[in-house]
Amino acid sequence: MQARLKRTANIDDLRAMAKRRLPRMVFDYIDGAAGDEATARRNRGAFERLLLRQDILVNLSVRELGTTLFGDAVSLPIIVGPTGMNGAYWSQGDLCLARAAKAENIPFVMSTAATTGLDALRGAAGPLRWFQLYMLRDRGLAEALLARVYEAGFRVLQLTVDTAVPGRRNRDIRNGFTLPFRWSAGKLADAVSHPRWAMQMLRAGSPTLALFAEAVGPVPKGATISDVMQQQINDAFVWEDLDWLRQCWKGKLMLKGVASAEHARRAHAAGADGVVVSNHGGRQLDGTASTIECLPAIVAEAAGRYPVLVDSGFRSGTEIAKAIALGADAVQLGRATLYGLAAGGEAGARHALRILADEFDRALALTGATSISELRGRVENVAR
């Protein structure tokens, strides 16, 4: 496994390795997006319209890649973002990702849709552990969950605000991707043709939404992921309700799914301590702008008063450098680390992070910058 990982040069290589290892229905759950997947493609294509500017004859012998987020020093402007169903890609996938983030001294964000329980995750994650919340219909259950999360040492909460109604993901519908796995002759044949994955799942058992079950009770069997989420997510939570959440949560609060300066302004006015510019990797509303297109206006609105993070579509350190140059404080990763996880577990996730760190370091240096602050502004948009 280690030898195969070492031969992977970039995240696309890890994606290819993950595709070979996983059955189609599982790979498509990582790789797919909503509708015709136009937003997912736009997330990727928008990076090409941004060009980094270079300086030359600069002393680059000492470079600093680290930064601070909510007062905590981190080694890179990178966060392992919240993703669900990670146990379907590798046994104890959430723990693998948490350990990888801890090893690289960067934050890990636990998802409400995690396939491991809160206590196990707390034991695996480092001190930079954050939590992502899908607002539950039952406020009492939500408040109890948040109390447990805070008691477990999670100090930053990301409320996802772009998933009141789950996106329609055609690949999952076609593949019949359900909880727990529901097998047909075709899916069994596909699983058998991926023996390493199949043997691991036989030993570990079918993944479940363990944290969801801890919070709200047993998850309905035979339901798609979207079905489960739709039954439990509060689709009537509005701006005025943020005051209730602000009172419940003692730590830092971020809104994840912000895509306009107006919404960033309202979030800050409502007591949010920061925002995540996100379109859920194109997995929610299809046909929207890319996050890198939305980023500059939101950075301008924030004007350094609160952190602005960004996710969706990032697969190289150069793309991360472009976001930092545009003013983002850090980039959250989704599929990039999941491809590494699916390819090689914790070692694969760490390999993905190291690839991105090396690419980011080289992009930083080749622009003539020696720190994140020097990288600011070294980018131009050629789309006219």
166 within some domain: yes
Domains: count for the chain: 1
Indicate the pLDDT class of residue 221, thresholds 50, 70 and 90: low
In angstroms, the CA 299 to CA 297 distance is 5
pLDDT on residue 182: 84
pLDDT on residue 205: 85
In the residue annotation, 280 being an active-site residue is answered as yes
pLDDT tens for each residue of 69-79: 999 999 999 99
Looking at residue 95, which CATH number applies to its domain?
A: 3.20.20.70
262 within some domain: yes
Of the candidates 194, 263, 268, 280, the residue annotated as catalytic is 280
206 within some domain: yes
101 within some domain: yes
Residues 6+ apart with CB under 8 A from 61: none
pLDDT on residue 300: 98
HEC letters along the chain: CHHHHHCCCCHHHHHHHHHHHCCHHHHHHHHCCCCCCHHHHHHHHHHHHEEECCCCCCCCCCCECCEEECCEEECCCEEECCCCCHHHCCCCHHHHHHHHHHHHCCCEEECCCCCCCHHHHHHHCCCCEEEEECCECCHHHHHHHHHHHHHCCCCEEEEECCCCCCCCCHHHHHHCCEECCCCCHHHHHHHHCCHHHHHHHHHHCCCCCHHHHHHHCCCCCCEEHHHHHHHHECCCCCHHHHHHHHHHCCCEEEEEEECCHHHHHHHHHCCCCEEEECCHHHCCCCCCCCHHHHHHHHHHHHCCCCCEEECCCCCCHHHHHHHHHCCCCEEEECHHHHHHHHHHHHHHHHHHHHHHHHHHHHHHHHCCCCEHHHHCCCEEECCC
Indicate the pLDDT class of residue 368, thresholds 50, 70 and 90: very high
In angstroms, the CA 195 to CA 324 distance is 41
Instruction: Specify the higher pLDDT residue, 299 or 212.
Output: 299
Provide the whole-model pTM: 0.96
Indicate the pLDDT class of residue 359, thresholds 50, 70 and 90: very high
Indicate the pLDDT class of residue 222, thresholds 50, 70 and 90: low
287 within some domain: yes
Provide the terminal-to-terminal Cα distance of the chain, rounded to the nearest Å: 45
Residue 275 bridge partners (DSSP): 255, 308
Give residue 183's Cα distance to chain centre: 28
What is the average pLDDT value for the chain, to the nearest integer?
94
Residues 6+ apart with CB under 8 A from 63: 361, 364, 365, 370, 371
135 within some domain: yes
384 within some domain: no
Q: 109 with 125: CB under 8 angstroms?
A: no
The amino acid sitting at 6 is K
Tell me what the mean pLDDT of segment 115-120 comes to. Answer: 95
Distances (CA, A) of 20 to 193, 342, 360, 364: 10, 10, 27, 33
Residue in 343, 285, 331 with CA at minimum distance from that of residue 166: 285
As given in the structure block, the two tokens for residue 177 are 């991707």
Residue in 284, 277, 353, 372 with CA at minimum distance from that of residue 105: 353
Its domain, for residue 127, covers 2-378
Indicate the pLDDT class of residue 6, thresholds 50, 70 and 90: confident
296 within some domain: yes
Tell me what the mean pLDDT of segment 267-277 comes to. Answer: 97
